[in-house]
Chains A and B, each alone.
Chain A
Amino acid sequence: MVLEMKDAACGYGKHAILEHVSIQVESGELVCLLGPNGVGKTTMFKSMLGFLDLLGGQVLLNGQDRVNIPRKEFSRKIGYVPQSHEPPFPFSVMDVVVMGRTAHLKGFAAPSREDYLLSYEMLDRLGVNYLKDAVYTNISGGERQMVLIARALTQQPELLVMDEPTANLDYGNQIRVLSAIRQLSDSGLGVLMTSHNPDHAFLCCTRAVLITKDKRVVSGPVDEIVTEEALRAAYGVDVKITQALSDQGVPVKSCVPMLA
């Protein structure tokens, strides 16, 4: 499974915010999209998923143009994990997760017993099955993020697109969510996520895509893309990259910002 953006122009109305964007994500890859605020990360995401019409270029799923793929079929391949927000009604966690089955339901059907069982299985897989009786509007931000990931998994997609999965989470929850994402990727799922923290790319990603301030899109292996110079060019701040050893002796890089 390959999701690909080819020479795309993304933007609202007629105004293009990003042009000539070409990136791709494959099954099993974990790609981190980095870039400063307002550079067009969200716009690119929306164009990729079809919330916005492309102003040029193409989005291809396994070589097939997205505009020719019905909404429902696309949703069976690509799951989207939005930033969590408060829904207007106090849905139960299970009701939220089972919404992931929508793309698999026929016509006017509602989720069946099997759909609910699958939803429970996904909560279980993410280690949050204790939430099954909770109300979605009453749980913590980290738990909501897990529920939304479970909902996307219930879609049974082959690729996941995640909009800042660690936004508004405390330090511990950020790490928990990242571990969960890496486990999903290890099991064969492709993941494209945005982040504001370059450390996240080092921690769990195989590739990084960096959008610089002058709207150039560069992509490649994390070590080649996330460098001191590149971060200075992208964010306009000085950063030193250091290294630590994990308990298994694997080196893990990390950024240390230099305050002005």
Chain B
Amino acid sequence: MDREYSAVQTAPDPVQPSAYLHDYREKRKRAVWVALGFLAVLIAVVCISFLLGRYPVTPDTVVRMLWYKLWGLSGDWTTVEETVVLNIRLPRILAAVAVGSALSVSGAAYQGIFKNPMVSPDILGASAGASVGAALALLLGWSTAMVQASAFVLGIGAVALAYTLSRSIGRGNNMVLLLVLCGMVVSTLFQAGVSIIKYLADPDSTLPEITYWLMGSISKVGYNDLAYFLIPYLIGVIPLLLLRWKLNVLSFGDEEAKALGVNTEQTRVICIVCATLLTAATVSISGTVGWVGLMIPHLVRFLVGPNYKAVLPLSLLGGAAFMLIVDNFCRCMLAYEIPLGILTSIIGGPFFVLILYQRKGEA
């Protein structure tokens, strides 16, 4: 503490802060246990994911392969095994972890910025913009890399448009509500754009491609895509994790946050930029995958309460684990691949209802 409490010096009775210390320690312990639990689940799911699939690989082969490869050694496994584990399953596991954690973290952050637990990462039009970008690139027959780049740029562009619009209308009053409304307008416009592109697309070749992309999938994500994804991912996640305490304060509204000493404009812009980077980057490699960004933060709040100090890192772990589980179903449940976006909704919807039941309506 940097100085004595000068104004209220005369405490009438001696205060016993130690009465609270026990509570404080207990709460900390609980948060740590939940975090360890999430981490354990994630690690377990990652391990299982290596073994799931039509081509059987034994656990010790996987362990040996990863270990030897890490040190640049070769071993006695077959080429097929190496392809399955290192070139098919590993990048997909990494993609699921990255996509799930990015969507959950950006969803949780948006919910704090917009003071509303029902907000999802596409609130400002990032998904709609990215969809137009990808659909347009597919229509024009561009390469996969260009499809991703186009989706990313238009995803960011849509949010920038919504932000600029709200600034020019608002001039300082009611910025948050205006921003959400402008986001809705921009989303609607871009969704109409997607429909136009689908209407123009060749129903035999491009249309199925666009439709498949819009349903979301990470089956084709390779190491190159992941390497490019890592840049916006880190630029997005790290500042949000660092600023997470301030998200608590922001969720009480602008004036209270200002009075408590937060530079609200600056903090909000940083958080919006980071969350948008995450969303646009995610959509550009995986297509539109709904529900995760809304549901995982809810699950986490249900377990540890709404303090962002715990909510953000746990959303990261929880989102990663959830997405990996869902993607395993996508590739193993039926003989053919199920689009990721469909399963997150099918599993996510009922799961969300279950959480609401548990909370007895206290959303």
Contact = CB atoms under 8 A, between A and B. Distances in A.
Contact of A90 (B2, B8, B253, B306): B306
A102 B252 contact: no
Interface in B97-143: 111, 115-117
B6 interface: yes
B5 A156 contact: yes
B115 A88 contact: yes
Contacts of A188: 6-9
Interface string A117-132: 1101100110001001
A51 B7 contact: no
B7 A187 contact: yes
Interface of A: 12-13, 27, 46, 49-51, 71-72, 74-76, 78-80, 82, 85, 87-92, 95, 99-100, 102-105, 108-111, 113-114, 116-118, 120-121, 124-125, 129, 132-133, 153, 155-158, 184, 187-189
Interface in B247-270: 248-249, 251-256, 258-263
Given A82-B255, A189-B8, A102 B306 contact: no
Contacts, number: 131
A121 to B, nearest CB: 5
Contacts of A88: 111, 115-117, 251
A109 B243 CA distance: 8
B258 A50 contact: yes
A46 B6 contact: no
B262 A102 contact: yes
Interface stretch (B17-25, B88-96, B272-280, B281-289): B17-25
A120 B17 contact: yes
Given A76-B261, A105-B245, A117-B24, 14 more contacts: A49-B258, A82-B255, A87-B251, A87-B252, A102-B261, A102-B262, A118-B17, A125-B8, A153-B8, A155-B260, A156-B7, A187-B8, A188-B9, A189-B8
Nearest to B266: A71
B23 A133 contact: yes
Classify the interface of chain A: helix, strand, loop or mixed.
Answer: mixed
A102 B249 contact: yes
Nearest to B14: A124
B171 A49 contact: no
B1 A114 contact: yes
A248 B307 CA distance: 47
Contacts of B16: 124
A113 B24 contact: yes
B111 to A, nearest CB: 8
B224 interface: no
Given A71-B261, A116-B24, A118-B1, A99 B15 contact: no
Contacts of B173: 12-13
A91 B24 contact: no
B305 interface: yes
B167 interface: no
A79 B256 CA distance: 10
